[in-house]
Amino acid sequence: MSMIAAVAVAAAAAGLIGTASVAQRRGSMSVPAFAVGDPRLIGALARSPWWWIGTVASLAGIGLQILALALGPILLVQSVMTTSIVGATLAERLLLRRRTSGVARAGIVLTVAGLCGLLLALAPHAGGGPGPSALTTVGLATIAVVVMATIARWVRRPTRGPRARAIGLALATGLGYGLSAVQLKQVGAQLADGVATPLDHPALYVAVVLGSLAIVLSQHALREGVGVAAVVSVILVVDPVVGLVAGGLWFGDTMTTSPIALVIATVSMAVLLIGMLATQSSPGRSALDANPDGRADLEGDGQLNVSPGLASSRYVIPADVREQDVIVTGIRSRA
Q: What confidence score (pLDDT) does residue 37 get? A: 62
153 or 329, which is more confident: 153
Tell me: do 278 and 292 sit in the same domain. no
DSSP string, 108-176: HHHHHHHHHHHHHHH--B--------HHHHHHHHHHHHHHHHHHHHHHTSTT--HHHHHHHHHHHHHHH
Tell me: do 317 and 183 sit in the same domain. no
- Give the burial class of 36: count Cβ atoms within 10 A of its Cβ; 0-12 exposed, 13-18 middle, 19 or more buried: buried
pLDDT band at 234 (very low <50, low <70, confident <90, very high): confident
225 or 66, which is more confident: 66
Q: What confidence score (pLDDT) does residue 206 get? A: 93
Q: What confidence score (pLDDT) does residue 126 get? A: 74
- pLDDT, one tens digit per residue, over 97-123 is 777 778 878 887 887 888 788 878 888
Q: What confidence score (pLDDT) does residue 229 get? A: 64
- pLDDT, one tens digit per residue, over 311-322 is 333 333 333 333
Domain count along the chain:
2
Tell me: do 156 and 193 sit in the same domain. yes
Among 7-21, 93-107, 202-216, whose mean pLDDT is lowest?
A: 93-107
165 or 36, which is more confident: 165
pLDDT band at 281 (very low <50, low <70, confident <90, very high): low
Q: Quick one: average pLDDT of 38-58?
A: 82
Q: Quick one: average pLDDT of 201-220?
A: 88
Tell me: do 292 and 178 sit in the same domain. no
Tell me: do 104 and 243 sit in the same domain. yes
Q: What confidence score (pLDDT) does residue 312 get? A: 31
Tell me: do 160 and 249 sit in the same domain. yes
For residue 321, what are the domain limits?
288-333
Q: Quick one: average pLDDT of 64-70?
A: 85
179 or 85, which is more confident: 179
Eight-state DSSP code of residue 224: S
pLDDT for 298 beyond 60: no
Task: Single out the residue in 247, 262, 284 at which a domain terminates.
Answer: 284
Tell me: do 299 and 190 sit in the same domain. no
Tell me: do 308 and 256 sit in the same domain. no
Tell me: do 29 and 123 sit in the same domain. yes
Backbone angles phi, psi at 317, to 5 degrees: -130, 115
Tell me: do 24 and 76 sit in the same domain. yes
Q: Quick one: average pLDDT of 145-155?
A: 91
Tell me: do 198 and 228 sit in the same domain. yes
Tell me: do 26 and 143 sit in the same domain. yes
